[in-house]
A = this chain, B = another copy of it.
Amino acid sequence: MATTALPDVPDEELLRLDRQVCFSLNAASRAFGGVYRVVLQELGLTYPQYLVMLVLWEHGPLPVKQIGSYLRLDSGTLSPLLKRLEAAGHVRRERSAEDERSVTVRLTDSGTALREQALHVPRRIFAATGLSLDEVTALQSLLDRVTARLDTGDPTIGCTG
């Protein structure tokens, strides 16, 4: 198994580059979070809660497992989050009849109505990024490729040791 690329860049250099690349992603993610926080405040949602609502608005009632699959989140994160959404009155949770292990998450009228207020959110976020539509698409494409690769990837690849 050969080392991937970067044959002639010294480790020292890479350590500095690493700080910048991994930090850029991390910082961008948190910067987005900050803007979403402001915009979503009037909906009374956090950003991860908003993601769950988007999935439910788009796909209708779903088991927790399925929501986690769409959002790359496990029950350890979703269970308390969904409990908070239920306490806020936006969703109901009920055991599935045909499979008692599964819990179906369903929008309430309040949760469905919230979609109206959410319709203007993406445009504001998009505007705040200052990117063109093409750039957003390119960014997303890169990110999705990286995520897919990282999720399935073997971290020992590229380790010459």
Contacts and interface: CB of A to CB of B under 8 A. Distances in A.
Interface of A: 3-6, 11-12, 14-32, 34-36, 38-39, 47, 51, 54-55, 57-58, 71-72, 115, 118-133, 135-136, 138-140, 142-147, 149-151, 153-161
Given A11-B120, A57-B15, A142 B151 contact: no
A90 B88 CA distance: 44
Contact of A122 (B17, B124, B128): B17
Nearest to A17: B122
Contacts of A159: 120, 123-124, 127
Count copies of this chain in the complex. 2
A133 B5 CA distance: 8
A46 to B, nearest CB: 12
A127 B158 contact: yes
Given A6-B133, A18-B54, A35 B142 contact: no
25 contacts: A3-B123, A4-B130, A11-B122, A15-B58, A18-B126, A21-B136, A21-B140, A24-B143, A24-B147, A25-B29, A25-B139, A26-B32, A28-B29, A28-B150, A35-B150, A39-B155, A123-B160, A124-B155, A124-B159, A127-B157, A128-B153, A128-B158, A131-B142, A131-B149, A139-B146
